[in-house]
Amino acid sequence: MQLAGKFFIFLSIVLFAFHAGPAQAEILDGSGSGTITISPLSISRDNLLVADGCDEAREWYDEGLRLSDDSDREAYYYQQAIDLCPGYVAAHNRLAEVYRKQGKYLLSIDQFEQARIQALASNQFASRSGSRALFLESAISLGEIYRIQGKYERAAQEFSKALQMDPDSLAAQNNLQYVYKRMHRYDNVLSPNNQMLVNALFTRISGLTRPRGTYRFDVQYHTWNQTGTLTDEMFDDERIQLAIPPSERKTEVKEVIASIRYGITNNLTIGLIPKYFSRTLEIKLAAFDTVETPTVKDIGDTELLLKYHVWGERNRHLSIYTLFNLPTGKNIKVLGDEPLTRPGQDMNGDPITEYLEFVRYIPFGSESYDVTPGLAFTLGLDPVILQSNMQYRITDGELIGDEFLLNAAAMYRVNPSVIASLEMNYRWRADVRRKQQVITYALRPDFILRERIPAGALVVDTNYTEFGGHTLFLSPGIQFTVARGVMVEFGMQIPLVRQAQGVTENIVYHLGLSVMTF
């Protein structure tokens, strides 16, 4: 019993000390001549002296919470709590909520603002758990008030602020979209990261189809250098003994692709994609120092796109498509006598100049109606959008061979105007048997074959095999929105794996402009 008695005495002392609170603070003024007595409640809310008031405030707050009926009495409890502890952010928020429910919007806004000010002023608030939620709540509630008042711009500001604090806030997302719609901003109702109506630079066909009645125009400019080898072994019908064998063909290609796409229905898009080329050829001849490099410009083939949206929900879309190749491009034959200078000098000490006839075939199209079926998929994963397609071009194998493409792109919206992308573009090409006319020169009569072949030009029609193979590109890119629906894009394709033979590209540079109508 004695022990219990001592315990109760001890407990009483503790309780008394707790309830009595700390003594009044006394601070000497500068002269030291007297004291200034400060009442506890006038000291900073972070001071221990105020903690006593805040404890009592919490009881008033809890009482209000227990009521939760948006009544004047509930408001009174929160007001009492705030009077005792002005930095009580939750009480400000709840009081503001009650005012909002009562339709007292000005009072409510004032309390929400107070909550914010008090929260920002407190150096403890930020570190407390739940502080962020209170901040968020006040931003959303303020937005709701502005929404009710029809002040959409201000409401959108508050909801955007809330989204900056918490991009996953469902309430902020919900309200922001509604407000945008009320502002007639139907094309920008999503948070930017979810906008999937962007296309990658090289993975051009997405899983989405155009909305019905809308257009998309784009123009792409590509330039690259490519190299191809031509050797005796490639001629498989009649082995040509090339007097002047061209060992390497270099071509500088400039390609302009225009496209127009239109949504016939929401699930069916049609597109027309004409191409225009400029090719500058350089054929290196081992026997000569120089060679002329003619530039040929002409239209290439045109593709007709039909795309159908077969499946989709919010952030996942799948389409099938077919590209019909319309052979508007020709296999252009370029003839010409060109002065070539051999190394060395003639008997007079002059450079040796000969005129040789060259025949070049420059393919600007396949000259056949090809079909390319494909599959395209788009997946939106905040904040990244994935886009992929694969297609197989079925050809007659004459000028252009079969081709399989597999593209995958990841796009990241850096800010509302800038999208960065990274793509992998895989290509497989089949070998192509090409018809070729070779004109060679016999410098002297040939008796080896027991048939006398006179000296001079010898024209041989033959076939040769342009080898295909695997190529893999890594393709970084960036797109800028310069005006509503207008995007400018830059990028490049860097070959990581090149096919061993045949025509191989160096880096492909891309410049694009696309315009969408809404």
Q: Which residues contact another protein (rule: CB under 8 A)?
A: 8, 11-12, 15, 19, 59-60, 63, 65-66, 68-69, 71, 77, 147-150, 168, 170-171, 173-175, 177-178, 181-182, 184, 186-187, 189-191, 194, 197, 211-214, 263, 266-267, 312-314, 382, 518
Distance from the Cα of residue 100 to its chain's centroid? 41
Residue type, 101: K
Residue type, 452: R
Distance CA 168, CA 173 (A): 8
Q: Helix 72-84 vs helix 89-101: angle between axes, to the nearest 10 degrees?
A: 160
| Min dist. Cβ of residue 498 to another protein (A) | 40
Q: By C-beta, is 83 or 298 nearer to another protein? A: 83
Check if the beta carbon of residue 281 is closer than 8 Å to that of residue 250. Answer: yes
Q: By C-beta, is 143 or 365 nearer to another protein? A: 143
Distance CA 129, CA 108 (A): 24
Task: List, in sequence order, the alpha helices (H) in 42-88.
Answer: 48-67, 72-84
Distance CA 232, CA 14 (A): 105
| Min dist. Cβ of residue 219 to another protein (A) | 23
Strand ranges for 32-173 from DSSP E: 35-38
Closest CA to 456 of 334, 357, 365, 309: 357
Return the half-sphere exposure (C-beta side, CA atoms, 13 A cut-off) of residue 458.
Answer: 19
Place of tokens 């601070």: 27
* Token pair in block for residue 88: 């009580």
| Min dist. Cβ of residue 147 to another protein (A) | 5
Q: By C-beta, is 190 or 379 nearer to another protein? A: 190
Q: By C-beta, is 194 or 501 nearer to another protein? A: 194
Distance CA 437, CA 154 (A): 74
| Min dist. Cβ of residue 81 to another protein (A) | 12
Q: By C-beta, is 179 or 200 nearer to another protein? A: 179
Distance CA 508, CA 381 (A): 29
Task: List, in sequence order, the alpha helices (H) in 207-278.
Answer: none
Torsion angle (degrees, nearest 10) of CA 191, 195, 201, 206 = 160
| Min dist. Cβ of residue 269 to another protein (A) | 12
Return the half-sphere exposure (C-beta side, CA atoms, 13 A cut-off) of residue 143.
Answer: 26
| Min dist. Cβ of residue 154 to another protein (A) | 13
Q: By C-beta, is 92 or 427 nearer to another protein? A: 92
Q: By C-beta, is 152 or 464 nearer to another protein? A: 152
Q: By C-beta, is 155 or 201 nearer to another protein? A: 155
| Min dist. Cβ of residue 272 to another protein (A) | 19
* Token pair in block for residue 141: 């509630």
| Min dist. Cβ of residue 97 to another protein (A) | 10
Q: By C-beta, is 10 or 369 nearer to another protein? A: 10
